Structure 1
Amino acid sequence: MESVKPQKDEELERAMALMPRNGSKGEVKEVGGEPDDDYDPHLYRKVPHPTSNFESLAHLLKGCLGTGILAMHEAFHNSGWLSGVVNMAIIGFICTYCFHILVRTQYILCKQYRVPLLSYPQSMKLALQQGPRAVKWISPAAVPITDGFLIIYQLGVCICYLVFVAKNVEDILHSYGVEISLTKVMLFMFLPLLGINLLRNLKVLAPLSTLANIVTFIGLGVVLYYVFQDLPPLSERPMFGPIEKFPLYFGTVLFALEAVGVVIALENNMKTPKSFGSRFGVLNVGMTLVTIMYGFVGFFGYLKYGADSKDSISLNIPKGLIPDITRGLFTFAIFISYGLQCYVPISIIWDNYVSEKVKSSRHSTRYQLILRIVITIFTFMVAAAVPELGLFISLFGAFCLSILGLAFPALMELCVLYPDKLGKLNWVMWKDIGLIIFAMIGLVSGTYSSLRNIIATFQ
């Protein structure tokens, strides 16, 4: 996942000082509209290498395709095939709609405060400052709260990557008669992954990201070849799964579909950002393709393997040279992507909470390396303690992305349009409250179900 590097608060303060002396927010023409002044944030963004619509679409697909798509067949096992297909479309629509809300609301805030762009945490803070009294008091803590969810989610992705790599390596070794425990596999992985995580230059990691995506698509094609061999009749699979397992489905799908950091980064770096959220723009086209791909893999993967569905579909394909090469490709792709995933939480923690305190120290570089080592050790310890890929995917999807991808965008829109731009009969307010309630139900039920199953692994 990519993320926008946060602005320093001092820069934001200087930008806000350019606002009119009376502190006016600026009028909004209509619900979801733009302030009436002539300031257009898009015209003031200085992007060294802006991306085209096609490049942005490719990046969106790349940002959404990861371990989530390999767990879709297990998600469908928790929901049933009919419920899985229908709810995949519903959740995909809601996620896309909330992305639109987020992008539109950030644009309004940029116009109001006359800045080219704002980070997600800063947007949250500014939105809460002008919201109802019931939420305004939270605004001073908005930045660390939002950063906290982003950090937890990204660390969760890193943990999922570690479990995925270790399980696939263990499976490959077992197929050749090498008996080794999952914990020992992780120990052998530690030093190479620590080396990747100690690379501080993102440009060094960029070619690895491109290579990882090529390898992932090749591996997915091979997996689908095996999936379509001797498919059983649809009647052998239930249309609906047990209701108590649906929260696990919800968390897994949300983990797979939500790419809030990618969406913000892409819109901020586009050559023509206005086309990002248009009817047939990058966001709608990209999310439609991603939703269809996830539904396709989930449906046919579950149809093929049913109750035998494992954490990753790469573990379900048969033994043999070609399947082992395929598992190796997936493992290699996720292995080299670990550093990219760790880059985001390290960047947030270092830039926002550590660098200012140690910038005068001659040991600043050493402190950053220590931070990278600590984060690597932490992710390894959690992965080794509970090596349950599917449960981790569901847990972090339900806990973090219900908030970051659904609740926070709705709350931001509600605050920015409050009190007199909420539409006829305040329909925007009721719609946003509905999205927040939906997100909270998903968060509580998905987190509870995942934690309950994780705890059960210790018993």
Structure 2
Amino acid sequence: MDIPLLNSSSSSSPTTSTFQALANIIVSVVGTGVLGLPFAFRIAGYAAGSFGVLLVALATYYCMLLLVKCREKLALQGRSKESQTYGDLGYICMGNKGRYLTEFLIFFAQCGGSVAYLVFIGQNLSSVFQSYGIPLSSYIFLIAAVEVVLSWIGSLAALAPFSIFADICNAIAMGIVVKEDIQKAIAGGISFNERTAITSNLRGLPFAGGMAVFCFEGFGMTLALQSSMKDKAAFPKVLGQALVGITIVYILFGFSGYMAYGDDTRDIITLNLPNTWSTKAVQVGLCVGLVFTFPIMLHPINEIVEGKLAQSNWFEKIEDNDDIFSGKRAKVATYISRTLIVLVLAILASFVPGFGVFASLVGSTICALISFVLPAIFHLMLMGSSLCLSQKVLDSSILICGLIFAAYGTYNSLVGI
């Protein structure tokens, strides 16, 4: 999720065309997690991995539409202005506790995604410059120093072009990986018998499932994407088209990567690429793009933290002070806050054992709760009396399965760590 927002950024008069909405959905959903899918297929097997990605895609589509249906229900009641964000739905359903829970989960989802970015950048840079013998943590803190400065930039518009650059690098990297995979498969004459279809290790299935959930991001953007469209009624169709295309690409990408490298598949597939200048350029390009999109990942985190700071007594005293330095002191406090956030995330990233394990942990826990559990709860609470029995059973099943998956996935990932 390269442009995650906590609040809807759409204007009061929607201007997004169907094609633009399609592009925005793809940008919001596809992130760095896709480069870990071949590793997930290695853990689960190519058949189980393919089925898992398809199942997660279907559940994601259904639960995204649940959020839209909840807001449409509120709009019919004349409460559309009260339901602009995911947090608003939490407040309407469960009061302040619901808002705090929703924003708490989004906050930590963004923190998890930010840590994953740092680990991803660190591992790729360590691979490119491995001859220098510099430890992974050094790359992470070196990048953190750059991110501290970039986090002080207040305008997201100034950073948005770099997000597009990162997506282009992702697409190029995927293209090069697939080309290398096909060449390696043809040259080696790999057969299906040499690869695992379904793993005999049951722990591998929830691990791969967590990775798949991590790849289907974008729930924080669902309501904003739908409200930005001129033709809101077309959103389910556009969302379906986007997710069908993304799912096909995910399955083919994970399958081809695993078939090419087998048990040697790394948790970031770019680390399997041959040591050539072209592949190194792709890795560096990915890292550069993500360095400049990292502050966008931080934006919702900074909004929440700075919002809490603004409500504190000491910060109010700074702002209410009449001397000429009060504005500067408030700005310095903001800079210090953003610096500390980056440093804490860098410290956490330096302890992460690997991108794949961490992505699976985030996907199994926070992402699963945001993606499946909360939409099912909100839908049942807002529309429970008007739902037919089959709809209630389906929502309840998603709710229960989401909780079980989150609990067992967390345990499984921690054991792996």
Paired letter, 1:430: V
Residue equivalent to 2:79: 114
Alignment of 1:48-447 (within 5 A): 50-116=15-81, 117-128=83-94, 139-174=95-130, 177-231=131-185, 232-241=190-199, 242-277=201-236, 281-351=237-307, 353-357=308-312, 358=315, 361=319, 362=326, 363-418=329-384, 420-423=385-388, 426-447=389-410
Unaligned runs of 5+ in 2: 320-325
Instruction: For 1:74 and 1:50, locate their aligned partners in 2 and report how far apart those are by CA, in whole Å.
Output: 40
Measured after TM superposition, the shift of residue 410 of structure 1 is 0.6
Instruction: For 1:3 and 1:217, locate their aligned partners in 2 and report how far apart those are by CA, in whole Å.
Output: 19
Instruction: For 1:307 and 1:46, locate their aligned partners in 2 and report how far apart those are by CA, in whole Å.
Output: 49
TM-superposition CA deviations, 1:67-91 (whole Å, max 9, x none):
1110000111111111111221112
Instruction: For 1:195 and 1:387, locate their aligned partners in 2 and report how far apart those are by CA, in whole Å.
Output: 27
Residue equivalent to 1:135: none
Measured after TM superposition, the shift of residue 408 of structure 1 is 0.6
Measured after TM superposition, the shift of residue 349 of structure 1 is 2.9
Give the match's secondary structure for 1:348.
helix
Q: CA RMSD in A?
A: 1.8
Instruction: For 1:359 and 1:264, locate their aligned partners in 2 and report how far apart those are by CA, in whole Å.
Output: 32
Instruction: For 2:158 and 2:11, locate their aligned partners in 1 and report how far apart those are by CA, in whole Å.
Output: 23
Q: Which moved more, 1:380-389 or 1:45-54?
A: 45-54
Measured after TM superposition, the shift of residue 125 of structure 1 is 2.1
Instruction: For 2:100 and 2:40, locate their aligned partners in 1 and report how far apart those are by CA, in whole Å.
Output: 32
Paired letter, 1:186: I
Measured after TM superposition, the shift of residue 372 of structure 1 is 1.0
Measured after TM superposition, the shift of residue 368 of structure 1 is 2.1
Measured after TM superposition, the shift of residue 46 of structure 1 is 4.7
Instruction: For 1:387 and 1:430, locate their aligned partners in 2 and report how far apart those are by CA, in whole Å.
Output: 39
Measured after TM superposition, the shift of residue 359 of structure 1 is 5.1
Give the fraction of aligned pairs with identical amino acids, expressed as a percent: 24
CA contact (8 A) 1:99 1:409 kept: yes
Residue equivalent to 1:25: none
Residue equivalent to 1:22: none
* Count of equivalent residues: 398
Measured after TM superposition, the shift of residue 336 of structure 1 is 1.7
Measured after TM superposition, the shift of residue 196 of structure 1 is 1.5
TM-superposition CA deviations, 1:255-279 (whole Å, max 9, x none):
00131012222112122222112xx
- TM-score normalised by structure 2 residue count: 0.91
Measured after TM superposition, the shift of residue 223 of structure 1 is 1.6
Measured after TM superposition, the shift of residue 387 of structure 1 is 3.9
Instruction: For 1:210 and 1:267, locate their aligned partners in 2 and report how far apart those are by CA, in whole Å.
Output: 21
Paired letter, 1:203: A
Instruction: For 1:349 and 1:103, locate their aligned partners in 2 and report how far apart those are by CA, in whole Å.
Output: 28
CA contact (8 A) 1:53 1:272 kept: yes
CA contact (8 A) 2:48 2:205 kept: no
Measured after TM superposition, the shift of residue 354 of structure 1 is 2.7
Instruction: For 1:322 and 1:4, locate their aligned partners in 2 and report how far apart those are by CA, in whole Å.
Output: 34
Measured after TM superposition, the shift of residue 205 of structure 1 is 0.9
TM-superposition CA deviations, 1:418-443 (whole Å, max 9, x none):
3x3121xx332222110111101110
Q: Which moved more, 1:234-243 or 1:48-57?
A: 48-57
Measured after TM superposition, the shift of residue 160 of structure 1 is 0.5
Q: Which moved more, 1:341-350 or 1:395-404?
A: 341-350
TM-superposition CA deviations, 1:28-54 (whole Å, max 9, x none):
xxxxxxxxxxxxxxxxx8536621111
Measured after TM superposition, the shift of residue 236 of structure 1 is 0.7
Instruction: For 2:351 and 2:272, locate their aligned partners in 1 and report how far apart those are by CA, in whole Å.
Output: 23
CA contact (8 A) 1:414 1:428 kept: no
Give the match's secondary structure for 2:23.
helix
CA contact (8 A) 1:92 1:291 kept: yes
Residue equivalent to 1:36: none
Unaligned runs of 5+ in 1: 8-44, 129-138, 455-459
CA contact (8 A) 2:7 2:224 kept: no
Measured after TM superposition, the shift of residue 386 of structure 1 is 1.9
Q: Which moved more, 1:73-82 or 1:185-194?
A: 185-194
CA contact (8 A) 1:146 1:404 kept: yes
CA contact (8 A) 2:90 2:378 kept: yes
Instruction: For 1:228 and 1:144, locate their aligned partners in 2 and report how far apart those are by CA, in whole Å.
Output: 48
Give the match's secondary structure for 1:229.
helix
Residue equivalent to 1:26: none
- TM-score normalised by structure 1 residue count: 0.83
Measured after TM superposition, the shift of residue 104 of structure 1 is 1.0
